[in-house]
Each structure stands twice: as structure tokens, then as C-alpha cells.
Structure 1
Amino acid sequence: MNFITAREHLQKVLLPTHLIYSPIFSEESGNLIYIKPENLQKTGAFKIRGAYNKIRKLTEEEKKRGVIASSAGNHAQGVAYAARELGIKAVIVMPQTTPLIKVQFTKKYGAEVILYGEVYDDAYQKAKELEEKEGYVFVHPFDDPDVLEGQGTIALEILEELPNTDVIVVPIGGGGLISGIASAAKELKPDIKIIGVEPSGAASATAALKNNKIVTLPEANTIADGTAVKRIGTLNFDYITKYVDEVLTVDDYELTEAFLLLTEKHKIIAENSGILPLAALKKLTDRGKKVVPVVSGGNIDVLMISSMISKGLVSRDRIFNFAVNIPDRPGELAKLTQIIAQVGANIVKLAHNQFKNLSRFRDKEVLITVETNGTAHIENLIEALEKKGYEISKR
């Protein structure tokens, strides 16, 4: 693969995504973290790189036939944008569960969109049927050497800007992004470490490496919809086996924490699949190294943003839900709220139930949600309440 030539062609359509040093993720991981923000790329993700590189290489006869692709969203937008720029018809098959924002933007770039199936693999089968029936050229999102060549240009940019990079951390869905980055990075700097990260609910690369062959997962269950792939690509498995040093997994709760930190500390919004590398930084065994996590995309639904922030606050102990029993007599609720105020916690929500059966007949249950500064603050609150004789039940 010729990554340098690919980069030259891509420069006319790409936006610069310069590295961003992160004090908060550096502190949390014990390394020097420089974020590669591909969520700020044109179409909101890295996918435009591989899609454009593939489509620009088509013959004139292939261009006349038009292209078809299957995608959970970002590849769809990349193909749609590239096809529009090169004057080619594009048809995209997307899972019915694809966030609405990704569907809308794909249509905005001029592609015909067909919604089919629950996950990427279902959409893929439908796209292959249409390829055969209509004669379209299929643009695979990850199992194609021209696509990998385009994605690999990210590694060139990273090493040009930070030549002494020690580790690059990359999300894994079908495996195209990490295959391109790993092969390009190792070509330029053989001793660099490449670490892949995938959601624990769709760990197809982990399963393949464990079994030393590609396997199909029974399901792909994760909030990281862009990496909800049950089977990695054949070509990608070979590249991962050859060039990737380690593959880690993170769960959905770890993703919510990373999302909150990125949003709050950097004022940057990224999608769940895109923040997989950030969520895995605390799991790295390296310390004091220059580490570049690739935040691969930023196309996320507004409602999901709200949900991720709320869950992230709970996961980081910034929101604490608990129940406490108090005597059912005047003034007792005021005493309770006064203790909470003295500790410096902010009551967000409070409700009580006089009719719930409790061990002591004249008690009532109070359900409270408070905003805190973190784990230590919660511990101080619990200690203050218990000193006054209250029994706390976490919710």
C-alpha cells in the first residue's frame, strides 16, 4: 500500500485534525496523552479517508455503475460525500437502529438510504444482494486494501506531528481503522506500539485472537453502535495478527466516564465508538509514554449525549442516589437536609413515601439524589449522616 500517495490525494478533501494534549487523561492514565480528534474531521469521522481513497481508484466503467455500501453511519457519510465529490451515484444500506442524525446527514450528502436489519451484519447482507442485482460497486467499510490505505494516512499525520509517539490506541469495529493505522505506523516506526480497543459486548477481534481464527459472535450488544460488529474482516484479522500488539476491551460504564471527561474537560463531543481508546487509557500497562488515542468519530444523537452525561456523572460519583429512613414527625426532613447542606452536597431531587412498610412503623422512606464532587465527598456525606444515626441505602 502506498500511504504517501493516498495522503496526497486526500489532502484536497480532508480537514486538519491536529493533536490535542490532554492534562486530565494524562493524569488519569500516568502517560502523556495527545488526542487525535478525527471526530472533527469532515463528515464527523475518519471514514471519509478510506471511502474517498477507494472510490477515486475506480475505473470509469465502475464509476458509471455507481457504488453501494453498508454502514452503521460514519462509513455511509464518507461514501456519500466521496461519491458526491467525484460525481458518482451512491446507495447506502444502514441498520434500522442507526441514530437519526447519521441517517439525515447521509441523505444530505446526496446518497439514497435504505434502512434494513438490526445490526451492521444484516445491512451488509442486504447491500450484497443489491450489488448483485443492480450491478453497483460495493465499497466495504473495513475489509478492503484501498480503504485500509486511506485510513492509514492517520498514522502519517500522527508521526509527522509527534515523531516520538510511543503508543497509538485505536478503536476496533470491523478492524479497518486499526489495520490501516498499524501497518502504516509500523512501516514508518517499527518499534511503535499499536493497541486496539473494542466494546466488551462486541469483542469480535478478541474472540478471533483467542481462537486463532475469525469467529462470528452470537450478538453485538453495546452502546458503541459504530463498532457493533459480530465478525471482523478477513483481511483485517491478518493485519491485526501481524501488526497489533494488544487488544483491550471496555464496558459501557467505562465509556460513559470517558465521554464525561472529554465533554467536561475538553468541551469536545464524540460518539461512543470514537471514545473507546479514551476509556481504555487507564488499562494501559505503560507509564510515562507519549500515547495517542484516536477519537474516531463525533456523530452522536443529542438524546444520547444527555444520557451519556447523566450516566457518566453517576459512574464518576458526581451524582449519588440513596435512601434513608426518618421518623414521621414534623421537622425531621429539615434536619436531614441541613446535614446534607453542611457537607456541601447539592440536593437535585427528593421524594418521600409515608406509606411504605418499614421495620419501624412510624418511619418513612426518603429518596434523595445529590450532586457531589466525587467519591470522597460521598463518603463524607455518608459518614455525617451515620454519625447522626441515619441508615443509608445506596440506590
Structure 2
Amino acid sequence: MSDNQTKHLSAQDYLRKILVAPVYDVAKNTDLNYMGGLSQRVHQDIWLKREDQQPVKSFKLRGAYNKIANLSDNAKARGVITASAGNHAQGVALSANRMKVKATIVMPETTPDIKVEAVRNFGGDWADIILIGRSFDVASNHAQELAKSEGYTYVPPFDDEDVIAGQGTIAKELFDAKRDLDVVFVAVGGGGLAAGIAVYLKQLKPNIKIVAVESDESACLKAAMEHNQRVMLDQVGIFADGVAVKIIGEETFRLCQQYVDEIITVNSDEICAAIKDIFDDTRAIAEPAGALSVAGIKKWLAANKPTEKLQLAGILCGANINFHTLRYVSERAELGEKKEAIIAATIPEEKGAFRKFCEILGGRAITEFNYRYAPSSAAHIYVGLKLRRGEDELQEVLAELKQNNIDWFDLSDNEIAKQHVRHMVGGRAPELTNERLFSFDFPEYPGALLNFLQTLGQRWNITLFHYRNHSAASGMVLAGFDVSEAELTEFTSHLDKIGYRYKDESNNPAYQFFLKS
């Protein structure tokens, strides 16, 4: 909220602001597509609002344009500034270009080149880009300082009345296109989209249900609702970066408290499955945050099992996905649909044991099988299994394994197993009795690995190292170290100095099954 906003707008004021918002100078009234394939599968009518059709492939253009358009001529002459590494930056850049207002876009140094170039292309001669710091917080603080020292108007990504009203124009289009909607599902990061849509629809159709959908790695609205006040999350996940917000906005929280009926959280696998659903029905490729609403629809239906046919709508709020992320999405979509399971199993280390194992599975398709011989009477295998009937079929499989005296462990929800260990099965080192395993979030910038090694020093031997990145601002690392119990406190203090987020994975069952000596 800006300093001169001393009282909250009423719902009627928001309704008026949404109706007169000049967003169509630059944005378009996007399609509302029927998702035939998904609707048939879940026996409900599901509609998708296609905000990926905007010039910047995201709804963020609406709020940014409305904010700048409502500035005084004086403020426009001084220029605007924002901090963003994603869709909001592109929305501000294009809006400034169209209105011939000078804009400064502050982005972290770790922002992928593809996003920097997109902002540069949309802004043209009217946008200056500043790359500073290795985190969004550094970039945001710098932008706020420049706003004060240079007299620029700061354009917030969500917590602003004009921004909220701009996003609310989506609700106007939804209501005009389909007035019999029963439930609308909206992704939540900072809350601008949900607040704008909810405040509009609840004025015109009070009985419509608004469901906010959050990533379970950045559920700041859920936390705020539970505490009845805004809560700063300690950390947020990086996969659905479009909603990776640590604290809900002040005004957006006020509106969501009043007008959002329910909150549902979804995990990365469920988001990946939703990306596939959207592609199958529309051939659009949503970014992870853009698919949250569809993931929420599926989870809500599974939990509530409505007996009557409902009219449900979700917002495909963005499609700025890095191409290389699709590899991850493809790997995880089947798991998110419960069409695949990953299990660890122990079978005899003898000829014919694998064949017998497959026979027990009764002809079910194996999607992945990882194994390496070890001089032992038992072999640990990593198995991906295709499922036709979801969780019920998995329980049948596990029961059959138990009846045949095969020990098993379900790894379907084990992130370390799915992200790293599946690529590393068999890497035991019998002599490493003091090995400890840690996962890290690595910032993607030149010298990050060298900084890690230099800070760690040469005292502890690295026994395992697996790195994987999907062209995001952070990479994911799994590393093993030879550290005795007596050295552990000193070792973790070294890790703290490095400054990367880390977690001790030494007791993770995936590590215990396949990597630990």
C-alpha cells in the first residue's frame, strides 16, 4: 500500500475501479476454454481462463498497467520502478513502453537470461534494467531506496489497490462469459489475483465459492489465515517461482479474509500433473504457478466428491516456463496423477529373483528399475511402477509383496528419492562409516561452487556429489561428507557460514536403502 492510502477501499469502490480500469489499452479479454478431457475424467464441467494469451503470457500486465495509468502526470514524468524477476517485471516494462513512461526494473543477478531479455524486449527504450544482488530481497531493497532518492513511483507486484483492481478485471470477464459458475479456483502468491477476483465476484454473486490454491512450499495465505494475521514464512520453494512469496500482502490479506471461502495446497507432483492436463486439453504449456488452479480443482474434487455436476473455473495465470523445466515436469506428472509409484524393495541376491519379483507384480508395467550388485545376500532395488487405478492399486501391490516376504518402502512422496537417488542407485562405499548426507539449494551464479568449497575448506572429504538444475535461480545439490560424530558441530557451523539453505538427509530412507554403507 502506498503511504497516502489512509483507509481501505470498500467492496463497492473496488467494483467501480475494476469496471473502469483501462487495462484493455494493452491487455486482451482472454478465452474461457472448456477442458473436455479433464471434465470427462472427473465427471464435472471445468473451464480454464487463458491468461497465457496476454502479450506477456501472464495476468500481471493488467495490474501493472492499471497502476501506472492511474498515476498523475507528475508521477508519470518522474518515472516508475519495481523489483521483480518474473512476470510482474514484464508487465511493468510493457505498460511503461505503451504509456511512454520511464521505468526502472531491478532484478537479482541470478535471474535467468531469458527473463532479463524478455523484460528488455517488452520495455524497449522506456525500461532500464538493474541487476543487483543474489536474492530478491536485495533487489527489492535497492528498488525501494531508488524510489525514495529519485522520486520514482514504486509499482508493487500485488499489495496495491490499483494493482488488485487491474487483476480483478479477470473476474469481470469470467462473469460476463459464464454466469453459472459454482466455484472459481485462483492461484495465490502475494494475493493480488485472488483478492481482485474474489471482491468482484462476491459482489455480483454472493453464493459463488472462491477457493485459493497455494503451493505447499509457499502457503503464506494459509499460514496467515491460521494465525489470523500475516505471517512471514521462513523459506519458500523454488519450483512454482511465480507464487514463491514469503508473506501475503496487507490489503490482499484483508480482502482474502473477507471473500475467499477455502484454501487448498498442492505439491510439486500435483502441479506437474496439472501442467500435463492443461497441455492435453488446450495444447498450452503452463508455468508451474499457472497450473495451480487446475491442480487445486482436482484435489478439491477428490476431497469433496460432489454428487451434483458443478461448473468449475480455474485461471491459467502464466505460461513463462523455461523449456528445460519441462524435463522435470514430464518426470513428475505421472506421480502427481497417482498413475505411477516409486518403491524400494529388498529381494534375494540370487538368479531369477528379479523375474520372480516381476511375476508378483502380475504383469503391471515397470517404468523404472535401478539396481547394482553388492556382495550381500539381499539386493535393494528402486522400482517405478505404472498404475491404472491409482492409490487402490498401489495398496494391492504392496500387499502382494508383503505376502511374498518382500520388504518394501513407498518412496512416491520422497523428494530426495525422486530428485537425486533415482540417478545414483548402487553408489555404496563400504569403508565410509562416518558418511553424512546433506541437501542444498545452490544459487546459480558464477563461482557458487568455488565459494562452497573454499568456505568448507579441505578438512572434510566430499564422498558424494549430485547436482541438478532446471534453469532456475537455484540449483539442487545432494552431497555426502566424511564427518565423525565428534566433528559434526564444527562441520555444520561451516555450512552455516556458506549461507546456502541445507538439510541433513542422513536418515532419509532413500539414502539408507541405496547409498549408505
TM-score range with shorter-chain normalisation? 0.7 to 0.9
Question: Which residue pairs with 1:79 in the alignment?
Answer: 92
Question: Which residue pairs with 1:297 in the alignment?
Answer: 318
Cα offset for 1:379?
7.1
Question: Which residue pairs with 1:316 in the alignment?
Answer: 337
Map 1:329-340 → 2, pairs under 5 A? 329=351, 332=352, 335=355
Cα offset for 1:210?
2.3
Q: 2:377 corresponds to which letter in structure 1?
A: L
Q: 2:168 aligns with which of 148, 152, 163?
A: 152
Asked whether the equivalents of residues 74 and 299 of structure 1 are also in contact (C-alpha less than 8 Å), the reply is: yes
Q: Hey, what's the Cα distance between the residues in 1 that align with 2:164 and 2:240?
A: 21
Asked whether the equivalents of residues 269 and 335 of structure 2 are also in contact (C-alpha less than 8 Å), the reply is: no
Deviations 1:337-365 (A, max 9, x none): 985998262x5555543334234xxxx66
Question: Which residue pairs with 2:191 in the alignment?
Answer: 175
Map 1:333-372 → 2, pairs under 5 A? 335=355, 343=363, 345=365, 350-359=369-378, 367-369=382-384
Asked whether the equivalents of residues 3 and 152 of structure 1 are also in contact (C-alpha less than 8 Å), the reply is: yes
Q: 2:33 corresponds to which letter in structure 1?
A: I
What stretches of structure 1 of length at least 5 have no aligned partner?
Answer: none
Q: Hey, what's the Cα distance between the residues in 2 that align with 1:328 and 1:153?
A: 66
Map 1:183-222 → 2, pairs under 5 A? 183-222=199-238
Q: Hey, what's the Cα distance between the residues in 1 that align with 2:285 and 2:228?
A: 36
Report 1 or 2 for greater relative contact order, CA contacts < 8 Å, sequence distance ≥ 6.
1
Q: 1:131 corresponds to which letter in structure 2?
A: A
Deviations 1:314-348 (A, max 9, x none): 3334445455636644xx48956985998262x55
SS for the counterpart of 1:69 is: strand
Map 1:253-292 → 2, pairs under 5 A? 253-281=269-297, 282-283=299-300, 285=304, 287=306, 288-292=309-313
Asked whether the equivalents of residues 38 and 296 of structure 1 are also in contact (C-alpha less than 8 Å), the reply is: yes
SS for the counterpart of 1:274 is: helix
Q: Hey, what's the Cα distance between the residues in 2 that align with 1:211 and 1:190?
A: 26
Identify the range of structure 1 (150-159 vs 21-30) with the bigger mean alpha-carbon deviation. Answer: 21-30
Q: 1:12 corresponds to which letter in structure 2?
A: D
After TM superposition, the score normalised by the length of structure 2 is 0.66
Cα offset for 1:269?
1.1
Question: Which residue pairs with 1:38 in the alignment?
Answer: 51
Distance change (3 Å), C-alpha of 1:28 and 1:241: farther
Q: Hey, what's the Cα distance between the residues in 1 that align with 2:262 and 2:110?
A: 30
Asked whether the equivalents of residues 31 and 50 of structure 2 are also in contact (C-alpha less than 8 Å), the reply is: yes
Q: 1:310 corresponds to which letter in structure 2?
A: E
Cα offset for 1:212?
2.2
Distance change (3 Å), C-alpha of 1:119 and 1:34: farther
Alignment partner of 1:3 is 2:23:
no
Cα offset for 1:304?
1.6
Cα offset for 1:367?
4.9
Deviations 1:45-104 (A, max 9, x none): 000011111112222222222211122411111001111111122211234554543333
Q: 1:145 corresponds to which letter in structure 2?
A: E
Cα offset for 1:139?
0.7
The share of aligned pairs that are identical, in percent, is 35
Cα offset for 1:140?
0.9
Alignment partner of 1:69 is 2:82:
yes
Q: Could you say what the CA RMSD is over the residues aligned between the two structures, in angstroms?
A: 3.1
Asked whether the equivalents of residues 259 and 309 of structure 1 are also in contact (C-alpha less than 8 Å), the reply is: no
Q: Hey, what's the Cα distance between the residues in 1 that align with 2:237 and 2:369?
A: 34
After TM superposition, the score normalised by the length of structure 1 is 0.85
Distance change (3 Å), C-alpha of 1:328 and 1:302: same
Question: Which residue pairs with 2:66 in the alignment?
Answer: 53
Q: Hey, what's the Cα distance between the residues in 1 that align with 2:281 and 2:253?
A: 35
Q: Hey, what's the Cα distance between the residues in 2 that align with 1:71 and 1:234?
A: 19
Asked whether the equivalents of residues 101 and 299 of structure 1 are also in contact (C-alpha less than 8 Å), the reply is: no
Cα offset for 1:27?
5.0
What stretches of structure 2 of length at least 5 have no aligned partner?
Answer: 1-13, 412-517
Q: Hey, what's the Cα distance between the residues in 2 that align with 1:211 and 1:385?
A: 44
Asked whether the equivalents of residues 320 and 369 of structure 1 are also in contact (C-alpha less than 8 Å), the reply is: yes
Cα offset for 1:259?
2.2
Distance change (3 Å), C-alpha of 1:235 and 1:310: same
Asked whether the equivalents of residues 120 and 229 of structure 1 are also in contact (C-alpha less than 8 Å), the reply is: no
The count of residues paired between Structure 1 and Structure 2 equals: 385
Cα offset for 1:177?
0.9
Asked whether the equivalents of residues 38 and 294 of structure 1 are also in contact (C-alpha less than 8 Å), the reply is: yes
Distance change (3 Å), C-alpha of 1:223 and 1:340: same
Asked whether the equivalents of residues 364 and 386 of structure 2 are also in contact (C-alpha less than 8 Å), the reply is: no
Q: Hey, what's the Cα distance between the residues in 2 that align with 1:320 and 1:169?
A: 28
Identify the range of structure 1 (213-222 vs 151-160) with the bigger mean alpha-carbon deviation. Answer: 213-222
Cα offset for 1:224?
1.5
Cα offset for 1:213?
2.1
SS for the counterpart of 1:298 is: coil
SS for the counterpart of 1:201 is: coil
Alignment partner of 1:88 is 2:101:
yes
Alignment partner of 1:232 is 2:251:
no
SS for the counterpart of 2:25 is: coil
Cα offset for 1:23?
3.4
Deviations 1:249-288 (A, max 9, x none): 2232322222232234442211111222212112254832
Map 1:17-28 → 2, pairs under 5 A? 17-26=30-39
Q: 2:19 corresponds to which letter in structure 1?
A: I
Distance change (3 Å), C-alpha of 1:85 and 1:286: farther
Asked whether the equivalents of residues 100 and 301 of structure 1 are also in contact (C-alpha less than 8 Å), the reply is: no
Identify the range of structure 1 (252-261 vs 319-328) with the bigger mean alpha-carbon deviation. Answer: 319-328
Q: Hey, what's the Cα distance between the residues in 1 that align with 2:64 and 2:341?
A: 45
Q: 2:347 corresponds to which letter in structure 1?
A: N
Alignment partner of 1:325 is 2:347:
yes
Asked whether the equivalents of residues 274 and 295 of structure 1 are also in contact (C-alpha less than 8 Å), the reply is: yes
Distance change (3 Å), C-alpha of 1:245 and 1:117: farther
